[in-house]
Amino acid sequence: MFRKLSNSELNRPDLETFKAAPKRPVTLVLDGIRSQHNIGSAFRSADAFAVEKIWLCGICAVPPTPEIHKSALGAEFSVAWEYAEDTLSVVERLKAEGYTIISVEQAEGSVALQDFTLESGRRYALVFGNEVAGVRQDVVNASDLCLEIPQFGTKHSLNVSVSVGVVLWELLHP
């Protein structure tokens, strides 16, 4: 028989302890995500995997909003974030700071997610695109790599918030 653990039994850090703790060398770049629920879910996944930051770009809403909070459940307060109007300028800035830029996109020459491993000592920026259009082509062009999540059904994509969770789990699980 299984007994669900209470929140206090999970031994999670409090907000200030978490914010001060070291983070994984991964930053998320959200390229024009229109759904605030998807943005909130990205915050929650970023908290779960202790990523260093989220960049909200283009039409992305920014906290605080009730819609983001509904999905983030407070992770919008624990994960560092910044807004920029143009995704490409963020990608160019991160590249200049030494990040490897990875667009999560179906593209010629993309690498299957399970065939890629993060290298120790490097920093990564994972770009996730708009729910309909995906990652902008100019951002894909500026990327060092495209990762693709293999799929086997009739649909050509996953919801962007699901993609964030899948990619972070695959790249950062112990």
CATH number, domain containing residue 126: 3.40.1280.10
Give the chain's residues under pLDDT 70.
none
Token pair of 18, please?
């978490």
Cis ω for the linkage preceding 25 (within 30 of 0): no
Convert the pLDDT of each residue in 42-74 to its tens digit: 999 999 999 999 999 999 999 999 999 999 999
Question: Does residue 7 lie in a domain region?
Answer: no
Question: Does residue 105 lie in a domain region?
Answer: yes
Cα 129 off chain centre by: 10
Question: Does residue 22 lie in a domain region?
Answer: yes
Cα separations in angstroms, 130 against 52, 75, 94, 96, 103: 21, 21, 20, 24, 12
Question: Does residue 2 lie in a domain region?
Answer: no
Strands 99-104 and 81-84: unpaired
Instruction: Report the share of the chain in percent with pLDDT over 90.
Output: 99
Residue 150: left if φ>0, alpha if ψ -120 to 50, beta else—which one?
beta
Q: Which range marks the domain in which residue 139 is found?
A: 15-149+157-172
pLDDT at 174: 83
Cα 93 off chain centre by: 17
* Helices H / strands E in the chain, number of each: 7, 7
Question: Does residue 26 lie in a domain region?
Answer: yes
Question: Does residue 126 lie in a domain region?
Answer: yes
Please name the residue that has the structure tokens 């959200």.
30
132 CB-side CA count, 13 A: 2
CB-based contact 116:145 (threshold 8 Å): yes
Question: Does residue 72 lie in a domain region?
Answer: yes
- Number of structural domains in the chain: 1
